[in-house]
Amino acid sequence: MSGLIEIRWHARAGQGAVTASKLLAETALRNGSYIQAMPEYGPERTGAPLRAYSRISDAPIELHNNIVNPGIVVVLDETLLSIVNVLEGLDESGLLLLNTTRDVDTIRTELEVPPDIRIAIVDASGIALDTIGRDIPNTPTVGALAHVTRVVTVDALKEDLRMSFGKKFSPAVIDANLASVDRAAQEVVCQ
């Protein structure tokens, strides 16, 4: 990894996008990177569309505005696709990661995604229901992101989950989250 990596998260309030952006940033920090993670605060109602941002770099980060040209866009809720232009500003050779049960070709056609933008799909909601027992797709989505991009490694992510969730949650909940990360890393498809 080198240079500045900018990630924009699209989700609905309550799906854990802010936590996801912070989890990724914390993991990168523990691996020696400079980081930023920030939500874009709008109406704070569960279900409202929201954006969050992460910056990861090997040098100190001076920028303090919203990310307008992300290299990576992550969508935690595909019902947003019809109301938010998730491709806005996405780098021409960037990555779009979606929580969906549909396949890459369908997404590429439907959203008219240019050929140089890679698309990664993972059924993060399904994995979350299977492992954690609730449709909180953030942790498996970060697992898929780590696997596809190597922004952080899956192992580093799991280590950070153990440390940061260890204070708040029971061992069973942590194990379920770790399992969700492993499954997402195995199941994510990127083309």
Where does residue 59 rank: exposed (0-12), middle (13-18), buried (19+ CB within 10 A)? Answer: exposed
Query: Which residues are within 8 A (CB) of 12 and not within 5 positions of it... i.e. 6 or more apart?
Result: 46, 47, 48, 49, 50, 76, 77, 79, 80
Nearer to other proteins, 1 or 63 (CB): 63
Among 5, 11, 20, 35, interactor with other proteins by CB under 8 A: 35
Instruction: Supply 8's token pair.
Output: 């924009």
Interface map 40-79 toward other proteins (x if CB under 8 A): -x------------------xxxxxxx-x-----------
Among 8, 22, 51, 147, interactor with other proteins by CB under 8 A: 22
Nearer to other proteins, 27 or 125 (CB): 27
Could you tell me the smallest distance in angstroms from the CB atom of residue 41 to other proteins?
6
Confirm or reject binding of residue 92 to other proteins (CB under 8 A).
no
Rg (CA), the chain: 15
